[in-house]
């Protein structure tokens, strides 16, 4: 379902002793014995999903769509990127949905954004889904403070029925608040971290509310869960991707540029950056994840990628089939000199561009990985996201790193809190 290509000699990597290491990682992973194994709930999550759970989410999503024109999803990092990635990938470029919109807040701290958001929703019916596993993250908590007051001022007692809280089942300030106010509650499983949570209520509730088929999304993830379980260093794309990027990392390629020709995938790239960046960037190790959308960025970062410092590897996320396309037509006077393209579709153009860019960058010293997904729909996105999560675990374990914690994010938080004189800092 996912097909991974590599510009170098893959067989070579594997015979250089990587196979035994990968087997060890694989066995520990599925025996749930590796570093951070308390957070491996996502590994077989879709196998354990009950129809009841999915129906409960569907019912809540239908209720939200009935009571509101706008759902504001409040969250940051893994608590918003999965939903944002799927919704952006599936919704149309324009005329998103005039009857029902999903908007996001709490993923930055901008007074102007929140003010304009509150103005924008003034003549619309509103529901909130506030998502925080810890229930204590400052940015969403701040946004929720404003939006909760907005809801209470506007809806009075009815506000509680329009507020949906997704948080830990047992702890956190958000849970206490949700219980006190009687908000609708959904759970972030304790053994699944934010960046691995897209198939839990964290991702599924907003995605269902946006009108997309969560069953197909989960089916895709479930197919990946089953198919990518086999220990096959050559044919399992999750192992292959991890092995190739690790080999390149060891050769000094310490930055990975994830490139796509599909602009709708730009938030999948953001999700991927958090996934790999937070999972691997520890102990002064890890590949730094960067993203570009082509051909747009060929006219900005393309120069650097072709010719700048040689520590880059490039992975292309390619969608093989498109639903909608345009074919270049023959113009009478060929004033723009594009008649040589007559009969070529814009998708064909991008596929050729992929080949050309890949050849050029390779000759400039940038190694290439190709990740092919068949098409952009719920099923294939579910498959892709699971593939990346699994591959990321292999990749971090190859660096001897716990993929599931993020100790480094505490330092800047402590510094900010100290400057703001938060009690206890
Ligand atoms: O869901 P929470 O606990 O609000 O955390 C949001 C994000 O913040 C982080 O903890 C980093 O600060 C991420 O790992 C996480 O996805």
73, 194, 282: residue to mutate for ligand 1 pocket, most atoms within 8 A of CB:
194
Q: What's the pLDDT score for residue 188? A: 97
* Number of Cα atoms under 13 Å in the Cβ half of residue 365: 13
Question: For the chain, what is the largest distance between any 2 Cα atoms, rounded to a whole number of angstroms?
Answer: 74
Q: What is the CA radius of gyration of the chain?
A: 23
- Checking if the pLDDT of 202 tops 80, the result is yes
83, 137, 271, 417: residue to mutate for ligand 1 pocket, most atoms within 8 A of CB:
137
Please give the helix or strand (H or E) that residue 410 lies within, else none.
helix 409-419
Pocket of ligand 1 (CB under 6 A): 76-79, 132-134, 137, 140, 194-195, 278, 406, 409
Q: Is 278 a catalytic residue?
A: yes
202, 205, 206, 211: CA torsion to nearest 10: 150
Question: Measured from the CA of 202, which atom of ligand 1 is nearest?
Answer: 1
Look up residue 127 and give its two tokens. Answer: 């529901």
Question: Measured from the CA of 409, which atom of ligand 1 is nearest?
Answer: 12
Question: Measured from the CA of 195, which atom of ligand 1 is nearest?
Answer: 16
Tell me if 74 sits within 8 A of 143, measured CB to CB: yes
**How many Å lie between the centroid of ligand 1 and the Cα of residue 152?**
26
42, 74, 79, 276: residue to mutate for ligand 1 pocket, most atoms within 8 A of CB:
79
| Cβ density class 188-223: b for 16+ within 10 Å, e for less | bbebbbbbbbbbbbbbbbbbbbbebebbebbbbbbb
- Checking if the pLDDT of 204 tops 90, the result is yes
- Checking if the pLDDT of 118 tops 90, the result is yes
Question: Phi-psi bin for 328: left (phi > 0), alpha (psi -120 to 50), beta?
Answer: beta
162 vs 150: CA distance, rounded Å: 12
Residue located nearest, by CA, to atom 7 of ligand 1? 77
**How many Å lie between the centroid of ligand 1 and the Cα of residue 15?**
39
The three-class DSSP label of residue 111 is helix
76, 129, 142, 414: residue to mutate for ligand 1 pocket, most atoms within 8 A of CB:
76
Q: What is the pLDDT of residues 132-178, one digit of tens each?
A: 999 999 999 999 999 999 999 999 999 999 999 999 999 999 999 99
Q: What is the pLDDT of residues 52-78, one digit of tens each?
A: 999 999 999 999 999 999 999 999 999
**How many Å lie between the centroid of ligand 1 and the Cα of residue 133?**
7
Q: Is 421 a catalytic residue?
A: no
Q: What's the pLDDT score for residue 99? A: 85
From the list 241, 239, 246, 249, the residue with the least C-alpha distance to 22 is: 239
Question: Which phi and psi (to 5°) does residue 291 adopt?
Answer: -135, 150
From the list 200, 148, 156, the residue with the least C-alpha distance to 174 is: 148
**How many Å lie between the centroid of ligand 1 and the Cα of residue 171?**
15
- Checking if the pLDDT of 16 tops 80, the result is no
- Checking if the pLDDT of 96 tops 90, the result is no
Q: What is the pLDDT of residues 339-393, one digit of tens each?
A: 999 999 999 999 999 999 999 999 999 999 999 999 999 999 999 999 999 999 9
- Checking if the pLDDT of 9 tops 90, the result is no
Look up residue 245 and give its two tokens. Answer: 């990027």
Look up residue 71 and give its two tokens. Answer: 């759902």
Q: What is the pLDDT of residues 171-200, one digit of tens each?
A: 999 999 999 999 999 999 999 999 999 999
Question: Measured from the CA of 79, which atom of ligand 1 is nearest?
Answer: 1
Q: What's the pLDDT score for residue 17? A: 79
What is the predicted ipTM?
Answer: 0.98
Cβ partners under 8 Å of residue 60, min gap 6: 164, 184, 186, 205, 208, 209
Q: What is the pLDDT of residues 26-62, one digit of tens each?
A: 999 999 998 999 999 999 999 999 999 999 999 999 9
- Single out the catalytic residue among 124, 149, 413, 422: 413
Question: Measured from the CA of 75, which atom of ligand 1 is nearest?
Answer: 4
Structure letter (DSSP) for residue 252? T
**How many Å lie between the centroid of ligand 1 and the Cα of residue 217?**
23
Residue located nearest, by CA, to atom 2 of ligand 1? 132
- Checking if the pLDDT of 89 tops 80, the result is yes
**How many Å lie between the centroid of ligand 1 and the Cα of residue 290?**
20
Q: What's the pLDDT score for residue 13? A: 83
Question: Which phi and psi (to 5°) does residue 4 adopt?
Answer: -110, 125
> What would the mean pLDDT of 19-25 be, rounded to a whole number?
95
| Cβ density class 351-390: b for 16+ within 10 Å, e for less | beebeebbeebeeeebbbbbbebeebbbbbbbbbbbbbbb
| Cβ density class 58-81: b for 16+ within 10 Å, e for less | bebbebbbeebbbbbbbbbbbbbb
Please give the helix or strand (H or E) that residue 173 lies within, else none.
helix 173-181
Q: How far apart are the first and last CA of the chain?
A: 50
For the chain, domains (ranges, CATH) are: 2-34+219-398 (3.40.50.10490), 42-212 (3.40.50.10490)
**How many Å lie between the centroid of ligand 1 and the Cα of residue 280?**
16
Q: Does pTM top 0.95 for this prediction?
A: yes
Q: What is the pLDDT of residues 221-279, one digit of tens each?
A: 999 999 999 999 999 999 999 999 999 999 999 999 999 999 999 999 999 999 999 99
**How many Å lie between the centroid of ligand 1 and the Cα of residue 163?**
20
From the list 138, 106, 170, the residue with the least C-alpha distance to 425 is: 138
3-state helix, strand, coil in the chain (%, to 5): 50, 15, 35
- Single out the catalytic residue among 278, 280, 314, 378: 278
414 vs 33: CA distance, rounded Å: 32
């Amino acid at each position: 379902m996912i097909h991974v290509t590599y510009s170098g000699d893959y067989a070579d990597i594997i015979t250089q002793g990587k196979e035994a290491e990968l087997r060890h990682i694989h066995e520990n992973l599925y025996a749930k014995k590796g570093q951070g194994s308390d957070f491996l709930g996502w590994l077989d999550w879709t196998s354990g999903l009950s129809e009841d759970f999915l129906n409960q989410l569907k019912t809540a999503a239908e209720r939200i769509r009935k009571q509101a024109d706008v759902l504001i999803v409040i969250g940051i990092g893994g608590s918003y990127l999965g939903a944002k990635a799927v919704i952006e990938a599936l919704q149309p470029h324009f005329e998103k949905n005039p009857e029902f919109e999903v908007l996001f807040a709490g993923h930055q701290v901008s007074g102007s954004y929140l003010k304009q958001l509150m103005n924008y929703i003034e003549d619309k019916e509103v529901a909130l889904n506030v998502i925080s596993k810890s229930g204590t993250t400052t940015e969403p908590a701040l946004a929720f403070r404003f939006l909760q007051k907005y809801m209470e001022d506007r809806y009075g007692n009815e506000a509680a029925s329009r507020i949906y809280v997704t948080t830990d089942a047992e702890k956190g300030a958000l849970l206490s608040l949700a219980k006190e106010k009687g908000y609708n509650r959904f759970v972030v499983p304790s053994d699944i971290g934010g960046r691995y949570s897209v198939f839990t209520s964290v991702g599924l509730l907003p995605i269902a509310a946006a009108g997309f088929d969560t069953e197909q999304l989960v089916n895709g993830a479930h197919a990946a869960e089953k198919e990518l379980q086999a220990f096959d260093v050559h044919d399992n794309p999750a192992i292959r991707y991890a092995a190739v990027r690790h080999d390149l990392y060891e050769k000094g390629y310490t930055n990975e540029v994830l490139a796509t020709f599909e602009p709708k995938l730009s938030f999948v790239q953001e999700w991927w950056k958090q996934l790999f960046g937070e999972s691997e960037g520890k102990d002064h190790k890890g590949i730094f994840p960067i993203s570009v959308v082509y051909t747009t960025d060929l006219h900005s970062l393309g120069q650097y990628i072709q010719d700048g410092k040689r520590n880059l590897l490039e992975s292309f996320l390619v969608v093989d089939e498109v639903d909608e396309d345009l074919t270049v037509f023959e113009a009478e006077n060929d004033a723009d000199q594009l008649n040589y393209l007559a009969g070529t579709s814009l998708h064909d153009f991008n596929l050729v561009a992929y080949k050309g860019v890949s050849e050029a960058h390779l000759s400039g010293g940038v190694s290439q990985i190709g990740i092919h997904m068949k098409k952009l729909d719920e099923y294939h996105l579910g498959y892709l996201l699971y593939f990346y999560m699994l591959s990321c675990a292999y990749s971090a374990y190859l660096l001897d790193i716990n993929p599931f914690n993020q100790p480094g994010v505490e330092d800047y938080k402590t510094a900010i809190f100290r400057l703001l004189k938060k009690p206890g800092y």
